[in-house]
C-alpha cells in the first residue's frame, strides 16, 4: 500500500475558520461540505494539468480509445494529531492500473495475488482460442455451410409442397360442394371418404418427404453437433472458471470499517441476501477512500464524488458535477464500512411531505382530481407511507376506492387522477394504455433551446447499477417519445410545454437532459442536472373521457414557478 505521504494531500487553500462537520457525509444523498468543495476544486486543478498517465476523458479522435469520463472522489480526513488534509481516488482503472499517485490504491488486500489472476486470464484466453480454433476448422465450416444450404433448400421445398397441398385441398372441397348438388347421399359419402383418404395420403407423403430431406442433412448435422458440443463444453468451462475467479476476487476485498472490523464483498452481499455482487464492486472511489483512511488510522470527515470528462452515450453525467455513491455496488458495502462513524441521517428516510397540503381541485361520483405538491409521494414507499394515495384513503374511508389511475415522480408537482371504484379506474386506465389522453407538462430548462418545437425519441431502461436512474439504451430500452413546444426564453433558461406520448419513468427528465435530447436538464433536477429549491416540472393539464358521462373533461393546475 502506498505511503501516507504519497496519498495524503494538505490543503493549499487556507481553511482556517472553517468548522469541521459534526457528522460524516451520508454518501447516497448529500450536499458537499465546504471542506469537500475546496478539496474538489484543488483536485480538479490538478486534473487540468498534463500528467504522466493517459486517459481519454474528452477527445474521441486522440487514438487513445473512445472518450470516457470517470468518477473521482475526495475524502477529507484528519490525522490523529489533528492535521486536516484529503485523499483522492478514481473509480475503476486509469491507464490500465488502479495504482497512480497521488490517488489511493485499490481496496483489495495488500497481499493480493495478481499472478493468480493473470494465470486465470491466460487460461480464459486459452479456452477462448480453443473455441475459435474449433469454429474455424475446415471440417466444421464445410459441414455447417452444407447443413445450412440443405436446411434452406428443404424449407423452400417443403413450403412449395404445402402450397401444392393447400391448393389441392381447395379443389377437393370445391368438388365436394359441387357434387353435393348432383350425387345421392350414398355416393356423396363415398366421395367424401375418398377425399378424406386422399388428405391422409397427402399428410403421409409430406411427412415421408420431410424425413427424406432430414436424412440428407444428417451426415452434416452429426459433424456440426460434435463440434458444437465441444465448443459448448469449453465455453461452459470458461464460464464456470470466470465465476470462481470473480468470487475469489470479491473475497480479496476485505473491507474495513471505523471499528476495525473486516468483511469481504461476498460476505456483505450474502448477509444482505442480495445475490452475486455486480462486477467491479469495491472499485468505486468511495470504498477506496474509506479503506485507505481506516488502514492508515485517518478519521473520515467529509466525502464528495464528481464526474470528470465526457458522459457516456447512455448515461447523463455532467463535467465537474457532484453525484452520490451508486446504489447497487456501493450502498451495500458502505453500509458495512460506515459502521462506527457518526453519519448524517439518511434524508431518504425523512418524509418530505410533512407540513404540505394536498389539494382536491375536483370531485364527483366517479373521479377525484388532485393537485400534488412537489416532493410528495404518489403512492406509499418502502419506508415512507405518507402519499397522495394514503391521504385520499383517509379522506374517503367508506369508498371502495380511491384508486390512482397514474403516478407522478415524487419531485414533480401537478395533476393526478383517481377514481372511486375499479370499474371507473379501468375505463380511464384504458385511455392511458391507448394513448388517447392528453397530458401537458410545464418545465423550466437550464439552457436556451434553438428550436421552437420538436419530438424527442430516446428509448429508456433502468440503470441496474443505480436505480431508479434511467439510461438511454437502443438495444434493450423501451420506446419513449416526447413532443415539446417552447413557451418563452428567460435569460439562460427556457420554459417549455412537454407532451409525453409514452409514460416511461423519468422520461421528461432524461429527454430534457440527455445530449441527444434537448441537452438542457430541468432546473432543480438532482438526478440528471443540478439540485435547487425544487424540480421545476409540473403536470399542468389533462383531458380524458369521463367514465360516467362519456364526455370529454379537462383539468388544469396553475404552474407554481
- Catalytic positions: 409
Cα gap 550→561, rounded to integer Å: 34
The SS3 call for residue 212 is helix
Element (H, E) at 300: strand 299-308
* Cell numbers linked to 477: 430500452
DSSP assigned state of 31: -
Tell me how far apart the alpha carbons of residues 527 and 513 are, in angstroms, rounded to a whole number.
Answer: 10
3-state secondary structure of 552: strand
Nearest to 311 by CA among 492, 60, 483: 60
Residues 6+ apart with CB under 8 A from 138: none
Cell of 516: 441527444
- Residue found under cell 473486516: 262
Q: What is the rounded CA–CA span in Å between residue 36 and residue 158? A: 72
Locate all alpha helices (DSSP H) within 253-362, ordered by sequence.
265-271, 285-295, 330-337
DSSP state at residue 281 = T
Q: Is 135 left (phi over 0), alpha (psi -120 to 50) or beta?
A: alpha
Angle (nearest 5°) at CA 169 between 163 and 173: 150
**C-alpha span between 445 and 222 (Å, rounded):** 63
Distances (CA, A) of 393 to 384, 396, 404: 16, 5, 11
Cα separation, 322 vs 325, whole angstroms: 10
Pairing label, strands 413-419, 537-545: parallel
Which set of grid coordinates corresponds to residue 518?
A: 434537448
**List of residues 6+ apart from 16 with CB closer than 8 A:** none
CA distances from 555 to 275, 540, 546 (A): 46, 8, 12
Amino acid at each position: 500500500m502506498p505511503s501516507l505521504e504519497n496519498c495524503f494531500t494538505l490543503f493549499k487553500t487556507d481553511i482556517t475558520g472553517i468548522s469541521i462537520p459534526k457528522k460524516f457525509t451520508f454518501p447516497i444523498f448529500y450536499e458537499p461540505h465546504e471542506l469537500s468543495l475546496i478539496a474538489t476544486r484543488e483536485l480538479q486543478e490538478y486534473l487540468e494539468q498534463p500528467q504522466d498517465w493517459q486517459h481519454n476523458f474528452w477527445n474521441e479522435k486522440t487514438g487513445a480509445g473512445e472518450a470516457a469520463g470517470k468518477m473521482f472522489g475526495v475524502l477529507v480526513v484528519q490525522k490523529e494529531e489533528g492535521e486536516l488534509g484529503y485523499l483522492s481516488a478514481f473509480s475503476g482503472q486509469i491507464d490500465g492500473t488502479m495504482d497512480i499517485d497521488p490517488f489511493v490504491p485499490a481496496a483489495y488486500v495488500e497481499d493480493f495475488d495478481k499472478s493468480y489472476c493473470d494465470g486465470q486470464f491466460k487460461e480464459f484466453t486459452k479456452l477462448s482460442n480453443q473455441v475459435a480454433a474449433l469454429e474455424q476448422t475446415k471440417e466444421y465450416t464445410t459441414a455447417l455451410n452444407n447443413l445450412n444450404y440443405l436446411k434452406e433448400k428443404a424449407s423452400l421445398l417443403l413450403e412449395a409442397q404445402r402450397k401444392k397441398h393447400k391448393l389441392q385441398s381447395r379443389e377437393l372441397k370445391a368438388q365436394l360442394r359441387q357434387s353435393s348438388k348432383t350425387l345421392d347421399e350414398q355416393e356423396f359419402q363415398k366421395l367424401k371418404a375418398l377425399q378424406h383418404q386422399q388428405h391422409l395420403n397427402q399428410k403421409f407423403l409430406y411427412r415421408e418427404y420431410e424425413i427424406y430431406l432430414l436424412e440428407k442433412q444428417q451426415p452434416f448435422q452429426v459433424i456440426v453437433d460434435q463440434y458444437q458440443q465441444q465448443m459448448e463444453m469449453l465455453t461452459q468451462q470458461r464460464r464456470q472458471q470466470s465465476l470462481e475467479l470473480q468470487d475469489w476476487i470479491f473475497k480479496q476485498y476485505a473491507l474495513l470499517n471505523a471499528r476495525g472490523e473486516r468483511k469481504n464483498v461476498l460476505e456483505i452481499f450474502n448477509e444482505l441476501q442480495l445475490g452475486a455482487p455486480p462486477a467491479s464492486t469495491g472499485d468505486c472511489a468511495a470504498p477506496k477512500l474509506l479503506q485507505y483512511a481506516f488502514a492508515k488510522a485517518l478519521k473520515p470527515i467529509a466525502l464528495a464524488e464528481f464526474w470528470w470528462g465526457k458522459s457516456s452515450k447512455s448515461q447523463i453525467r455532467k463535467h465537474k458535477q457532484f453525484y452520490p455513491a451508486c446504489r447497487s455496488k456501493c450502498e451495500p458495502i458502505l453500509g458495512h464500512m460506515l459502521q462506527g462513524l457518526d453519519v448524517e441521517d439518511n434524508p431518504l428516510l425523512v418524509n418530505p411531505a410533512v407540513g404540505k397540503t394536498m389539494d382536491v381541485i375536483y370531485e364527483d361520483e366517479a373521479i377525484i382530481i388532485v393537485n400534488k405538491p412537489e416532493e410528495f409521494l404518489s403512492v406509499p414507499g418502502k419506508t415512507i407511507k405518507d402519499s397522495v394515495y394514503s391521504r385520499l384513503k383517509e379522506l374517503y374511508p367508506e369508498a371502495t376506492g380511491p384508486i390512482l389511475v397514474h403516478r407522478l415522480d415524487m419531485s414533480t408537482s401537478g395533476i393526478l387522477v383517481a377514481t372511486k371504484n375499479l370499474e371507473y379506474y379501468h375505463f380511464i386506465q384504458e385511455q392511458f394504455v391507448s394513448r388517447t389522453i392528453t397530458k401537458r407538462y410545464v418545465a423550466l430548462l437550464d439552457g436556451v433551446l434553438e428550436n421552437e418545437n420538436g419530438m424527442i425519441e430516446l428509448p429508456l431502461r433502468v440503470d441496474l447499477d443505480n436505480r431508479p436512474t434511467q439510461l438511454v439504451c437502443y438495444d434493450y430500452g423501451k420506446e419513449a417519445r416526447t413532443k415539446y413546444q417552447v413557451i418563452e426564453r428567460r435569460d439562460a433558461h427556457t420554459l417549455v410545454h412537454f407532451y409525453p406520448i409514452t409514460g416511461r419513468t423519468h422520461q421528461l427528465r432524461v429527454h430534457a437532459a440527455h445530449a441527444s435530447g434537448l441537452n438542457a436538464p430541468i432546473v432543480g433536477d438532482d438526478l440528471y442536472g443540478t439540485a435547487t429549491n425544487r424540480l421545476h416540472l409540473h403536470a399542468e393539464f389533462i383531458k380524458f373521457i369521463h367514465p360516467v358521462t362519456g364526455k370529454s373533461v379537462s383539468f388544469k393546475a396553475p404552474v407554481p414557478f
